[in-house]
């Protein structure tokens, strides 16, 4: 046994605790308002239905009125942000003509995502994009019923409330990288808005580093009567669908099936929530999604981007995809009275903390590797320097191969290699970069290379 192990790194990060970034993020999180988030839910419900095939002409009912309202709110937020020129928020409809398909869109339909982009302030980081999304479309019992009321309060006005409240509080501040706030359409008709957006982004070579998808995040009370108001599930995929055969072979050889970029993102979300001592904490689920259900994060995963899904712990199926009615004393329907404002604000802060840290931190180091030129009982790690000018150093993290989260760490300073008296066979290793304000990047998992 060697003497190199450092104490467990939770709950405070070791290398750069209490940097200036810490208080900046706390101030932003303190601005999140439960009342305003809940008011977004109520406003969206007031459009009666937001079914993707519903009325687009009316100003008071249907998906057209709903998206024009979201756009107008984003424009107000943009105006109040006081940002101008290259730093001004970009607010727009991301429109796609789609269908008919043989599934849930029988006629040609405009699928319209509503987007607000907050451009990054650092030229070297501006092209990196971090998304927070929720879907604003809703549905009733029948998937093609565009007429009946479909309040969609939890599913997913709650997710759009997270997006809009973060747009409001985050637009008041500066971030190195670009943050994208997006309300998607067509989720209930087959994850369409997110898929059309993600496919276009991939074709354009867009550098999307993380997507936080919020879908059903407002009601902490399960049908069992249990209240889970201190937890939010975070789902992440294990193996990206876009992998080539050689990449799969590497994953098999190195045992890195639990270390996809999406899973590093999930760990990052959990660690940030701990660091800021948030009231709602992530419950990580090592699955792409729940049984018999899907979500917009999958569309981004399929396009090759890291993405995770936030969802309440115990779902109430009487209140999802149900016509509003009462039968034998049971109330059905996704109504705003079942959205808990404080809990919704708590989930908003989990997203906000992760987004602010991701967007201000340097890039995760590229080419992180265990040097395996020779047999040996120690571990030599190397990585490439991160490109941002404000990088202050790097931190090596490791864990036993049976552990889920990174448990040990050591500061490397500005070096881009480290030798540890640890047997490389017995641990997983990773590297992260941090800046002068204490913002830390996600972890890059160390693969292997001869040098």
Contact positions toward Zn ion, by CB under 5 A? Answer: 155-156, 215
- For residue 425, give the DSSP letter: T
Minimum distance of Zn ion from residue 312's CB (angstroms): 11
Q: Report whether 195 contacts 99 (CB < 8 A).
A: no
CB burial of 357-370 (b: ≥16 within 10 Å; e: otherwise) equals: bbbbbbbbbeebbb
Structure tokens at 28: 């932003």
Number of residues written out for the chain: 451
Residue 252: other Cβ atoms inside 10 A:
10
Q: Report whether 64 contacts 83 (CB < 8 A).
A: no
Minimum distance of Zn ion from residue 159's CB (angstroms): 7
Minimum distance of Zn ion from residue 231's CB (angstroms): 19
Minimum distance of Zn ion from residue 320's CB (angstroms): 8
Q: Distance of alpha carbon 339 from its chain centroid, rounded? A: 21
Contacts of 94 (CB under 8 A, 6+ apart): 112, 113, 114, 115, 182, 193, 197
> In terms of CB distance, is 34 or 294 closer to Zn ion?
294
Contacts of 249 (CB under 8 A, 6+ apart): none
Minimum distance of Zn ion from residue 241's CB (angstroms): 21
Minimum distance of Zn ion from residue 294's CB (angstroms): 9
What whole-number distance in Å separates Cα of residue 374 and Cα of residue 419? 14
Strand, coil or helix: 338: helix
C-beta pairs of 324-332 under 8 Å, 24+ apart in sequence:
324/148, 324/149, 324/151
Minimum distance of Zn ion from residue 156's CB (angstroms): 4
> In terms of CB distance, is 94 or 155 closer to Zn ion?
155
Between CA 360 and CA 439, with CA 268 as vertex, the angle to 5 degrees is 25
What whole-number distance in Å separates Cα of residue 344 and Cα of residue 38? 8
Minimum distance of Zn ion from residue 311's CB (angstroms): 9
Q: Report whether 405 contacts 11 (CB < 8 A).
A: no
What whole-number distance in Å separates Cα of residue 80 and Cα of residue 450? 54
Strand, coil or helix: 276: coil
Minimum distance of Zn ion from residue 143's CB (angstroms): 13
> In terms of CB distance, is 152 or 438 closer to Zn ion?
152
């Amino acid at each position: 046994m060697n003497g190199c192990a450092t104490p467990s790194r939770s709950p405070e990060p070791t290398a750069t605790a209490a940097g200036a970034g810490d208080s900046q993020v706390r101030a932003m999180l303190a601005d999140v308002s439960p009342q305003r988030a809940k008011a977004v839910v109520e406003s969206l419900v007031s459009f009666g239905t937001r079914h993707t095939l519903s009325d687009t002409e009316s100003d008071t009912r249907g998906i057209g009125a709903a998206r024009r309202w979201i756009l107008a709110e984003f424009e107000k937020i943009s105006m109040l942000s006081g940002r101008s020129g290259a730093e001004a928020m970009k607010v727009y409809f991301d429109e796609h003509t789609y269908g008919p398909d043989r599934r849930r869109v029988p006629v040609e339909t405009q699928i319209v995502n509503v987007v607000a982009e907050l451009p990054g302030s650092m030229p070297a980081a501006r092209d990196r994009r971090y998304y927070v999304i929720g879907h604003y479309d809703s549905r009733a019992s029948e998937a093609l019923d565009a007429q009946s009321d479909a309040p969609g309060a939890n599913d997913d006005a709650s997710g759009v409330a997270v997006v809009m409240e973060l747009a409001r509080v985050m637009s008041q501040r500066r971030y190195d990288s670009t943050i994208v706030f997006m309300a998607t359409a067509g989720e209930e008709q087959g994850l369409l808005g997110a898929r059309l957006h993600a496919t276009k982004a991939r074709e354009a070579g867009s550098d999307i580093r993380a997507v936080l998808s919020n879908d059903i995040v407002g009601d902490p009370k399960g049908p069992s009567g249990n209240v889970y108001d201190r937890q939010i599930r975070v789902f992440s995929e294990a193996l990206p669908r876009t992998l080539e055969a050689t990449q799969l072979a590497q994953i098999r050889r190195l045992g890195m099936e639990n270390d996809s970029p999406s899973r590093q993102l999930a760990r990052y979300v959990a660690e940030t929530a701990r660091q800021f001592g948030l009231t709602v904490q992530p419950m990580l689920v090592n699955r792409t999604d729940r049984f018999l259900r899907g979500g917009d994060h999958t569309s981004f995963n399929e396009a090759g981007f890291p993405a995770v899904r936030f969802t309440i712990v115990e779902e109430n199926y009487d209140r999802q995809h149900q016509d509003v009615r009462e039968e034998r004393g049971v109330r059905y329907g996704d109504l705003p009275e079942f959205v808990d404002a404080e809990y919704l604000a708590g989930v908003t802060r989990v997203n906000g903390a992760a987004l602010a840290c991701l967007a201000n931190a340097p890039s995760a180091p590229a080419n992180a590797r265990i040097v395996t030129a020779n047999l040996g009982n120690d571990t030599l790690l190397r990585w490439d320097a991160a490109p941002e000018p404000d990088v202050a150093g790097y931190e090596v993290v490791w864990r036993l191969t049976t552990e889920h989260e990174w448990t040990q760490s050591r500061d490397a300073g500005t070096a881009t290699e480290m030798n540890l008296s640890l047997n490389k066979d017995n641990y997983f290793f990773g590297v992260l970069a941090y800046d002068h304000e204490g913002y830390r990047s996600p972890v890059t998992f160390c693969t292997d290379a001869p040098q």
